[in-house]
Structure 1
Amino acid sequence: MIDLDYVVPLRWQDDSGLDELTAYLRALAPHVRVTVVDGSRPELYARHARRWRCLVRHVSPAAGLSFANGKVNGVTTGLRLAEGDRVVIADDDVRYDLPALAEMHALLARAELVRPQNYFDPAPWHARWDTARTLLNRALGADYPGTFGVRRSFFLAMGGYDGDVLFENLELVRTVRAHGGRELRPPGLYVRRLPCDARRFWSQRVRQAYDDLAQPVRLASFLAVLPALALVRRPLPLLAAAGTAVALAEAGRRRAGGRRV
Structure 2
Amino acid sequence: MDRPSPPSLAAEPLPISYILPIAAAFPQTRALTGYLRRLSRQVDEVIVVDGSPADVFEAHDAAWSGHVRHLRPLCPTPNGKVGGVVTGIFAARHEHVVIADDDVRYRRAELSRLVGLLAQADVVRPQNWFHPLPWHARWDTARSLLNRVSGGDWPGTLGLRRSRFLAAGGYAGDVLFENLELVRTIEAVGGREIVACDLFVVRRPSTTAHFRNQRVRQAYDELARPHRLVAQLAILPLAVALTRKRRFGALALLAAGSVVAAEAGRRRGEARAVFPPTSALWAPAWIAERAVTAWLALGTRLLLGGVRYRSGRLARSATSRAALAARHAR
The TM-score with structure 2 as length reference comes to 0.77
Residue aligning to 2:93:
83
1:207-230 Cα offsets, whole Å, 9 max, x none, are: 112212111111111121121122
Residue aligning to 2:63:
51
2:256 to 240, 243, 251: 243
Give structure 2 stretches of 5+ with no counterpart.
Answer: 1-12, 275-330
Pairs within 5 Å for 1:32-181 = 32=43, 33-62=45-74, 65-181=75-191
Q: Which amino acid aligns with 1:257?
A: E
- Please state whether the residue corresponding to 2:20 is helix, strand or coil: strand
Q: Which amino acid aligns with 1:60?
A: R
Task: Tell which has more relative contact order, 1 or 2 (C-alpha 8 A, sep 6+).
Answer: 1
Alpha-carbon distance between aligned partners in 2 of 1:256 and 1:66, rounded to the nearest angstrom: 38
Alpha-carbon distance between aligned partners in 1 of 2:76 and 2:55, rounded to the nearest angstrom: 21
Aligned length: 258
Give the C-alpha shift of residue 18 in structure 1: 2.1
The percentage of counterpart residues that share the same residue type is: 52
Alpha-carbon distance between aligned partners in 1 of 2:144 and 2:229, rounded to the nearest angstrom: 15
Alpha-carbon distance between aligned partners in 1 of 2:69 and 2:16, rounded to the nearest angstrom: 14
Alpha-carbon distance between aligned partners in 2 of 1:117 and 1:5, rounded to the nearest angstrom: 20
Alpha-carbon distance between aligned partners in 1 of 2:259 and 2:219, rounded to the nearest angstrom: 22
Alpha-carbon distance between aligned partners in 1 of 2:229 and 2:150, rounded to the nearest angstrom: 14
- Please state whether the residue corresponding to 1:140 is helix, strand or coil: coil
> Which protein has the larger Cα radius of gyration, Structure 1 or Structure 2?
2
Alpha-carbon distance between aligned partners in 2 of 1:224 and 1:119, rounded to the nearest angstrom: 29
Whether contact under 8 Å (2:167, 2:189) holds in the other structure is no
- Please state whether the residue corresponding to 1:199 is helix, strand or coil: helix
Give structure 1 stretches of 5+ with no counterpart.
Answer: none
Query: Which runs of structure 1 show a deviation greater than 3 angstroms over 4 or more consecutive aligned residues?
Result: none
Give the C-alpha shift of residue 14 in structure 1: 1.4
Alpha-carbon distance between aligned partners in 2 of 1:18 and 1:201, rounded to the nearest angstrom: 22
- Please state whether the residue corresponding to 1:12 is helix, strand or coil: coil
Alpha-carbon distance between aligned partners in 1 of 2:192 and 2:121, rounded to the nearest angstrom: 5
Q: Which amino acid aligns with 1:31?
A: Q
